[in-house]
Chains A and B, each alone.
Chain A
Amino acid sequence: MTMLDAALTDWSRAQFALTAIYHWFFVPLTLGLSFIMAITETIYVKTGNEEWKKLTKFWMTLFGVNFAIGVATGIILEFEFGTNWSKYSWIVGDIFGAPLAVEGIFAFFLESTFIAVMFFGWDKLSKKFHLLSTWLVAFGSNLSAFWILVANAWMNYPTGTEFNPDTARSEMISFWDVALSPFAINKFLHTISSAYIVSALFVVGVSSWYMLKNRNVIFAKKSILVASVFGVLSSLFIIITGDGSAYQVAQKQPMKLAAMEGLYEGKEGTGLIAFGILNPSKKIADSEDPFLTKIEIPKLLSLLSYRDANAFVPGIKDLVYGNEKYGIEPAQKKIERGKISVQALNRYKEAKIAGDTLAMNLALAELKETFHDFGYAYFDHVEQIVPNITLVFYSFHIMVALGFLFLVIFILTFWFTYKEKIESKKWLLRVALWSIPLGYLASQLGWVVAEVGRQPWAIQNILPVFKATSHLSVGAVQTTFFLFLVLFTILLTAEIRILIKQIKNGPKE
């Protein structure tokens, strides 16, 4: 790979990361606030208490601001697929096409149709039909997320497809294997539960601000009660889905797991790092201690990864250089197999031109046999298969620590509100308020773990990112990077300003 190719790949990745991160600032509230609104409206319909209607309408206004400013920001990612990632886009076109088409036809139309009904139908529809619209907005937006996450999960665990050497496309052979792969299900559940937590923190935090200002106190208490219960349940659920996700990663992406834990040398009965500071001078092959300091929970990583406290968890060194005792192949073998696979594709192409059916069939059989390591062909040295360990490790551990902090905040805010003591707990109200940005941070870090952790792959084991880019000038990608930076910063600033104004105005009497 030349310096120019490396710069193009880096800028293309930076641009994709920038747009995905900004897009994800808007998505969590759409996914989670919609359910909180649906719950508060259900209480209104059940009790007939107008206070709950006022409360629902207020959160619905903030939902509307977020939705309006965030809507279609994800389409920019699709623009980038066609321009910056054209090779990747061609290869995965059939896989992405189906889930995204389902998303467009069902989920998006369901969501967008009922959003209008939800906003305009308050005094024109029956209470129950309006409530149904609100629930359908919640389910529709989450259903949209499902299909997009199915596509993302496939890149991490390509299943239900077969590579066609005539078209150079991965073609779907089982829609359900793609849609219901354990990777997709865990990713979806883990991602939406993180969005629910962000939304619950948002509602608890904004309500805490009212409490601190001694404004709209009854409204704020009701909101805290609903959001903190929603937050506790989401936090407990995210522990389960996080465990499911980590289990899948251990089976299918052991390098990502090793990076998440800073595990260089695998062993039986591996502990989980509860806290650690990485040794910055550590190299993959040396024998230096990977940590300057650490607190480890014995055997927990083995238990969580393989449901066996004494199981062997491979480290980075094992995955790069191999470990004969535990049957782990060195990456060099995979590189060799990848090269055989690429040669088979070449032979298939030449045999097709020559009209030699027998040679085509032989080449095709070899391609199919070795295709699972196809992407390794493009690496010059084995260390290239290691992601950025520092970034993945700290992102993972900060995310987990924040997740547990949020659970404690939700329990405390619920308890003190329930006991009518929340007004006197100014410190807790301040912590809850300042947890709003922390919620976004934790959620973004989750994506950093998922996406940086799977580097260098665009499609796991099949296509490295540097083979997925288009032939563009670095300057062109830099230009659009800064255009997006300006556009999204304006949108985000507009959202924050409008939200703050609406929050300061408070719920309408």
Chain B
Amino acid sequence: MYIDGFKHLSTLGKTLWIIIFIKLFIMFFILKLFFFPDVLKRDFKTNEERSDFIIEQLIKN
């Protein structure tokens, strides 16, 4: 049913799938990769370092 459904997509269905793929590509391969790093994962190696950093930030007034 799934294969058959995808094989016989209407023009609207095809358009929507194209939009979905373009959108997901922009989101995951452009925005996420180049603009939205996980800052704490990038800047620290271990969870302990991350915890220490956050505690430092909370203590700093």
Contacts and interface: CB of A to CB of B under 8 A. Distances in A.
Given A68-B19, A69-B19, A124-B1, A87 B36 contact: no
Given A79-B31, A491-B23, 19 more contacts: A61-B12, A69-B23, A71-B20, A79-B27, A83-B37, A119-B5, A120-B4, A120-B5, A120-B6, A124-B4, A125-B1, A165-B55, A168-B54, A168-B55, A480-B36, A483-B35, A494-B19, A498-B15, A502-B12
Given A64-B16, A498-B12, A472 B1 contact: no
A339 B31 CA distance: 39
Given A491-B23, A494-B19, A76 B31 contact: yes
Contact of B59 (A79, A91, A349): A349
A90 B49 CA distance: 12
Q: How big is the A interface, by class? A: 35 or more
A378 interface: yes
Contacts of B5: 116, 119-121
Most buried by A among B15, B17, B40: B40
Nearest to A76: B27
Closest 10 pairs (CB-CB, A-B) = A120-B5, A68-B16, A168-B54, A79-B36, A82-B38, A86-B39, A83-B36, A346-B59, A470-B39, A168-B51
Contacts of B58: 168, 342, 345, 467
A167 interface: yes
A345 B32 CA distance: 34
Interface of B: 1-2, 4-6, 12-13, 15-17, 19-20, 23-24, 26-27, 31-32, 35-41, 47, 50-51, 54-55, 57-59, 61
B19 A79 contact: no
A231 B42 CA distance: 48
A470 B32 CA distance: 16
7 contacts: A68-B19, A69-B23, A83-B38, A470-B39, A471-B39, A491-B19, A491-B23
A450 interface: no
Contacts of A339: 61
Interface of A: 61, 64-65, 68-69, 71-72, 75-76, 79-80, 82-83, 86-87, 89-91, 116-117, 119-121, 124-125, 165-169, 339, 342, 345-346, 349, 377-378, 467, 470-472, 476, 479-480, 483, 487, 491, 494, 498, 502
A87 B57 contact: yes
Contacts of A65: 12, 16
A431 to B, nearest CB: 30
Nearest to B4: A120
A242 B51 CA distance: 39
Contacts of B31: 76, 79, 480, 483, 487
Given A168-B51, A378-B61, A479 B23 contact: no
A91 B61 contact: no
B8 to A, nearest CB: 9
A72 B36 contact: no
A169 B35 CA distance: 26
A166 B51 contact: yes
Q: Chain A interface mostly helix, strand, loop or mixed?
A: helix
A80 B35 CA distance: 10
A378 B58 CA distance: 9
B31 to A, nearest CB: 7
B3 to A, nearest CB: 9
Contacts of B38: 82-83, 86
B27 A75 contact: yes
A494 B12 CA distance: 12
B59 A342 contact: yes
Most buried by B among A65, A80, A90, A119: A90
B2 A83 contact: no
A168 B16 CA distance: 43
B10 to A, nearest CB: 9
Most buried by A among B4, B6, B19, B27: B19
